[in-house]
Structures are given as structure tokens and as C-alpha cells.
Structure 1
Amino acid sequence: METGGRESERRHTLNLLLTRGLVPFFASSTLYFLLWLPEDNPSCNSALAKCLPILCLALFVHESAPSGPYGLFVWLGLLCSALGDIVLTWPNLFPFGLVAFALAYLFYLMALGWHPIRQALLEPVIAIFILYFGLLYPHLPSSLSLLMFAYVVILGLMLWRALARGRSAALGGLLFSISDAVQAWDTFVQPLPSGRMIIMVTYYTAQALLALSTVEDRPTQS
């Protein structure tokens, strides 16, 4: 009975956190899709609209995640992602945006850690990423090929560790990979129908799932 009561209290506390903490994220992401600011007209307003949902998730993690390295590194990853969103609003700053997101994925990788190893998950990730990068490589500008390779390696490692952790982190890692794969193809190979919608829906969902993973195992407050 006592164990059941603690579990019920934990779930109630978590539900309150999610209800109060994620409302700003859903409101700001809805605003982004409603405004749907055109990509060929970069502005401070469009940059703010794009990064605001991620900043709301960063605030949620800062206020809700238990103290410790996992929540801290996810929070730092969200801040780097927001910076990347701002920079990528201007296409001529694409390499700097790529670096910002690579740093975000490195912070996520540090959060996810290396245990359990689950090496069996690494082999299919390597195979899929090599295949995709091989298809993408002929279309990349020579000035970006090395940076893109490093980015793909970091993303692949992050996906492997997210799958090893499981739960919402695993789904978040998968959606990050889908979002980046669609964006790379849409940017360097050929525009895809509804490409921007697919990119942003999977991207925001992936970030939200990583943020939620910080409170999955939140202890009940005494």
C-alpha cells in the first residue's frame, strides 16, 4: 500500500510538472507553425519564433530536472540548439549553425553516457549512417564535406547512446536522425514536398522527448 501510494504521488507530481512546464513549449511551437515565416526572408522575428520552443524546453529542464549531470548536459544541449536555430535562420551562416548543433549533440552524448554499452545497437547505426552519407556526399560542397562528416559521426554516436538508454531518449534520438536526414536531403540534393514541415515537427518532438527524459526517473519529493 505504501509503495503504491508513493508511486501514485510520483505520477501526480510528474503530471503537474508536465502540465505546467510544457504548456509554454506547445504554445510557442504552435505559434511558430501558425506564423510559418518564410525561409527566404530571414529576420530577428523568424529567428525568435524558431528558437522560442527550445528555450521553453530549456526552462522546463532547468526548473524540473533533478540535480545532476544528466539534466545539466541536456539543458546545455538545448541552449546550443537554440543558438543553432538562430544562426541557421541566415543561410550564409550554415557552417556555424552546424557547429552549434554538433555541440548540442555532444552535450546530449555526455548526458546519455556510455553505460550500458549495448554494442549490438551500434552496428546497424553505423551501417545506416555510412549508406546515407555515401548517398549525400556527392552533393555536398567540398568546403562542407569534412564538417558534415564530423557532424554525422557525432549524430550517429548520440543516436546509439539514446537507443541504449531507451524510453523517450531513444525515440528522441531516432527523430533527431530523421529530421537531420530530411534536412540534409532537402538542402543539398533536392527540395522535398512538405520538407520543412517534416523537419520541424520531428525536430521539435525530438527535443521535447530529450527534455522529458530528464524527469522520467525523478524521485518523489518527501
Structure 2
Amino acid sequence: MFWVLLFATLVVAAADWVAVALDKRAAEYVLKPLTMVVLVAAALSMSGPDPSAARWWVVAALLASLAGDVFLMLEDRFVAGLSAFLVAHLLYIGAFITMGVEAMPFVLGAALVAVLVRALGVKMVVAATESDRSLGGAVAAYLAVISLMVAFGIGTARWWVIAGALLFYASDAMIGWSRFVGPFPQHRVAIMTTYHLGQVGLVLGLLGSA
């Protein structure tokens, strides 16, 4: 059942990417949350060697992400969406710790995100602050938490988790860049593609399917 639901997730996600590319907002409002609903069902159906505690951390993270998706589709709910995804990243960190984090990969992950924050993150925080002073602190806090999520994800030394965490990071980096620094061609398609594939990767890696 898991593989059927995972395939269904990818089909719905691909339909959402097409809707985004064609700017079909009504279809997006259905397909974007539906993708996460089906992925939650897939996570719940998966059997594997990992402790059940990790499964519930992941399901909770997916549900928080679903809430974030809904908030970000609404007008003037950016901070609410940001908060929901911040919670999702904290839940993913809980899952990574439950699954086990190795010291050396974690240190390498922390070094990598430090470079990324210095290269891209600082500019986004400054741009967010200039756009709306009240957003600067929220964006900085979010950047810190998602960077920790990536470092802990790399620390698991699981390839699916690493790929998923990095894709999620890339998606959020593109959201921040396009919103506060400047959009780039087809940025919305790139954001959604990396986001959905990142979530799928995290489910595969954390729940023992890798």
C-alpha cells in the first residue's frame, strides 16, 4: 500500500507543478494540500525497521507542513505559514534525533549550512528587514531552525534524509530569495518541485524505506 500511495503522491505533486507552471490558482489550491494529505497517508501505511516514535514525529511534521501550505495560500498569512513550517522543522529534528545522529556527519552538515547562511541567508534576512522590520526577526529565527534541521538531517548519515533535507532547504531558500530579494524565471515551479521531492525524501529516509 505504501508504494501505491507514494506513487499517488508523486502523481498529484506533478499535477500541482503543472498547475503552478500554468498559473491555475484554483487547481493549485486543491492539489498543493492534497499532495501532503496523500503523503501523510503513505507515511502512516509504511512498515519498516525504525521505531514507531520516529513515524509519529514525521507524521506530525507533515501535518505541520500541510498547515503551512494552507496558510501560505491565503492572503497576509505569511508569518502564520512561516510559524507552521518552523514547527515542522523542529518535529523533523525530533525524528532525526530519534533515529540517531552521528557526530562527524552532523559537524559537516553544520559547516555546510554555515556557508549557505553566510552566502545567501544573511542577504535574505537583511532584505526581509528592509521590506518589513517586523519580518526580520521571524525570518532569522526560521533560517536558524531550518539550518539546524539540515545539519541534523545530514547527521543521520541516511542518503534519503540528506537529499530530502537539502531539497527542502533549497525550496525555502528560493521562497525567501524570490520574496525578499527578487523573483527569477519559473521560481514558483522550482519551489514546489524541490519542496515536494524533499518531503518525499524525508519520508523515505526516516521510515526505513531507503
Shift >4 Å, 4+ stretches: none
> Which residue is 2:79 aligned to?
95
1:155 matched to 2:143? The reply is no
TM-score, normalization: structure 1? 0.82
> Which residue is 2:42 aligned to?
60
Aligned-CA RMSD value? 2.1
Q: 1:197 aligns with which of 175, 180, 189?
A: 189
> Which residue is 1:142 aligned to?
133
Cα deviation 1:143-163 (Å, max 9, x = unaligned): 111111110111011000111
1:48 matched to 2:48? The reply is no
Asked if structure 2 preserves the Cα contact closer than 8 Å seen for 1:48 and 1:86, the reply is: no
Asked if structure 2 preserves the Cα contact closer than 8 Å seen for 1:65 and 1:71, the reply is: no
> Which residue is 1:29 aligned to?
13
TM-score, normalization: structure 2? 0.86
Q: Size of the alignment, in residue pairs?
A: 199
Asked if structure 2 preserves the Cα contact closer than 8 Å seen for 1:169 and 1:210, the reply is: yes
Cα deviation 1:77-110 (Å, max 9, x = unaligned): 0111111111100241000000000011111010
Unpaired segments ≥5 residues, structure 2: none
Larger Rg: 1
**Sequence identity, in percent?**
24
CA distance in 2, matches of 1:65, 1:84: 27
CA distance in 1, matches of 2:119, 2:15: 37
Unpaired segments ≥5 residues, structure 1: 1-15
Query: Please, which moves more after superposition, 131-140 or 78-87?
Result: 131-140
> Which residue is 1:213 aligned to?
205
Cα deviation 1:126-145 (Å, max 9, x = unaligned): 23213322211231121111
1:187 matched to 2:179? The reply is yes
